[in-house]
Structure 1
């Protein structure tokens, strides 16, 4: 991720607000979606509760055992659900 972003212009495109009034946006370096790159590298997971946007990238990372997918882990969403 450092190589993707370091020294490059980052452009964020607002896509609305969440229920707390926070801005939701997609951020890019050139045409590269930064979040998609993180998920593809196994450094983040798709948040399926609200979108299926990054599911394919997550499935590819999981199949290739990249990043966190080398291990068995509980997703943040599952952790929050189990905690309540």
Structure 2
């Protein structure tokens, strides 16, 4: 979801406006987007599980491992 940029002064150029929008998207203070201890625990478990499967020769495709981690990160 795009975040609305509020200017204290109008941008002097299109480049400055884009830089402001980019900064706003990186500096989103929405707590839902931040990792918490449970998210980190789940990611560590998913990584450990993938490493164990690989060590046993049961590796899952990289795309599946990444999809699982994305689901954890995005709460789906």
Please report the TM-score for the alignment, with normalisation by the length of structure 1. 0.23
Structure with a larger share of its residues in helix: 2
Q: Select the structure of larger CA radius of gyration.
A: 2
Question: TM-score scaled by structure 2?
Answer: 0.25
Greater relative CO, 1 or 2 (CA 8 Å, sep 6+)? 2
Which structure is higher in strand share?
A: 1
